[in-house]
Amino acid sequence: MPTQPGTLTPDDVRAALRGVDDPEVGMNIVDLGLVYGVDVTPGQLHVDLTMTSPACPMGEMILEDAQRALEALAPAGVEIDLTLVWDPPWSPDRMSEDARAHFGWT
């Protein structure tokens, strides 16, 4: 785990967010394609993520789980900015090949 803000990378962030599942489908939010963007700068970690639908009943729980994962990853003093976005709308084509295979969509 990184100990200084300069050593935190977007790959580290995505790896941490792979531990956050969408409980409705049993798949992590990275492979589902819900993580739209990761920006790491000195002192700040910014993540844009979405839900499969604005009516997602697990949205609040997923956001809370993502926030906890980021807090566990980020060094002390790094501001975490987790933003829920809706544009562009999520679609299954954002899923990883592994996720599509899991659902039989290959």
pLDDT tens for 45-104 read 999 999 999 998 999 999 999 999 999 999 999 999 999 999 999 999 999 999 999 888
Q: How many helices (H) and strands (E) does the chain have?
A: 3, 5
5-94 domain in CATH 3.30.300.130? yes
First-to-last CA distance in the chain?
A: 34
What is the number of residues in the chain?
Answer: 106
The CA radius of gyration of the chain, in Å to the nearest whole number, is 14
User: pTM of the predicted model, to two decimals?
Assistant: 0.89
Q: How many CB atoms lie within 10 A of CB 81?
A: 11
- What does DSSP assign to residue 90? P
Question: 11-23, pLDDT tens digit by residue?
Answer: 999 999 999 999 9
